[in-house]
Amino acid sequence: MTSNTAPPTASNPTESPALNLSEEQIIGFATQFDPQPYHLDRAAGDASIFGGLCASGWQVAALGTRLIGDALTQQDMNFVSLISVDSLRWRQPTFVDEELRAVTRVEGVEPTCSVPGCQTAVISAEIINQAGDVVAVLSGRAAIDAGGQLP
């Protein structure tokens, strides 16, 4: 028998809606935080080992975390904040206007959290592009609002 007061547990992977990074967003972020030629200029990107203007890895991670939040919402978990990262790997570049989605799996939920009023979700996610290629893989711990999960 399933109880609707049970805390959430491990889930199947859930795919988020898509978001993209525009040329303006990629160049704007890189100018502030990651001023490499292939993040700043189309021609330099084309001439680089990546073969095109591509986003800073941290920008991909930040967008990916927003997508992870969206995926958790689809699982009725109110994402509050990422608490820690246990592993983050970038597999391939993310180019202008690629549609990114987060395929997010909740490995488990712990009842306590460093953020007051929250539980801790242990998560793993693949950030994929519109071709289904994995551009980044992230695992870590997220605070989720316990109010939405417990009576």
Give the count of residues interacting with its own copies (CB under 8 A): 30
Site for its own copies in 5-24 (CB under 8 A): none
Selected from 18, 27, 44, 83, the binder of its own copies by CB under 8 A is 83
Amino acid at 126: E
What's the distance, Cα to Cα, between the start and end of the chain in Å? 18
How many Å apart are CA 75 and CA 77, to the nearest integer? 5
Cβ 36 to its own copies shortest distance, Å: 7
Of 8-16, 88-96, 97-105, 121-129, which part binds its own copies (CB under 8 A)? 88-96
Backbone angles phi, psi at 143, to 5 degrees: -85, 130
How many Å apart are CA 128 and CA 125, to the nearest integer? 9
Cβ 138 to its own copies shortest distance, Å: 9
Number of residues written out for the chain: 151
Instruction: Give contact residues for its own copies (rule: CB under 8 A).
Output: 25, 29, 32-34, 36, 49, 56-59, 61-63, 65-66, 80-90, 115-116, 140
